[in-house]
Amino acid sequence: MAKLIGKNRIKTAVFISGNGSNLKSLIFFSKKKISPIQISLVISNNKRARGLNYAKKYKINKFSIIYKNKKNAEFLMLKKLKKNNIKLILLAGFMKILSKKFILSFKHPILNIHPSLLPKYKGLNTHERVIKNNEKFTGCTVHMVNKKLDSGKIILRKKIKIYKKDDAKTLEKRVLKQEHKLYPKAIGKFLSNL
């Protein structure tokens, strides 16, 4: 990974839609001496996303896109990515599904973090569903993005126990805390294997 450190950090874009707590932890990670990434761009499909405040605070180039027309939105995003010389995309709570065309056009890796132990519980409302199914464990997964939703190669997972007193809210909080540690760890693992 040594070759990525210092000036050669990989230029990274983080895609968000909401709170951006993962974005915050990724920014902290990118500021570490040993970090292999430099976050150069934050893209949001929602101009009111709270996470955009982190981009502002840490002076990172940000871009919100109106997603009325997916084809147009993706075209504009690809243009931005190219202009900023982005070589890695990190999806962090991005609530839009990228088209196959987008994934094929961006010639570099795209990673995502998902709040379940994939391949179980793909899609939305994972915490509600694990509680409803009386699961004993849940967790989070960092995986590569391919054209099938939440189905790309798994890079790392973190398992957590579900307690009797847990509900979707308490689980969300505990899983998020683990997500903030898992994503940087998975990026390090992924990039050192390239």
Active site residues: 114
Which residues, listed in sequence order, are joined to residue 79 by a DSSP beta bridge? none
Query: What 3-state class would DSSP assign to 179?
Result: helix
**In the bound complex, what is the minimum distance in angstroms from residue 174's beta carbon to ligand GRF?**
11
Burial class (CB in 10 A: 0-12, 13-18, 19+), 143: buried
Residue 159 and residue 175 in contact, taking contact as beta carbons nearer than 8 Å: no
Report in angstroms how near the CB of residue 82 gets to ligand GRF at its nearest: 25
Comparison of 4 and 114: residue with beta carbon closer to ligand GRF: 114
Sequence-distant (6+) residues with CB within 8 A of 177 are none
Task: Give the closest residue to 19 by CA, choosing from 181, 185, 176.
Answer: 176
Scanning residues 32 to 51, which ones bind ligand GRF (CB under 6 A)? 51
* Binding residues among 105-164 for ligand GRF as defined by CB under 6 A: 113-115
- List, in sequence order, every residue forming a beta bridge with 160; answer none if it has no partner: 138
Question: Between 17 and 35, whose beta carbon lies closer to ligand GRF?
Answer: 17
131, 154, 160, 176: residue in contact with ligand GRF (rule CB under 6 A) = 176
Stretch 61-90: interaction string toward ligand GRF, x if CB under 6 A: ------------------------------
Name the site residues for ligand GRF (rule: CB under 6 A): 16, 18-22, 51, 92-93, 113-115, 176, 179
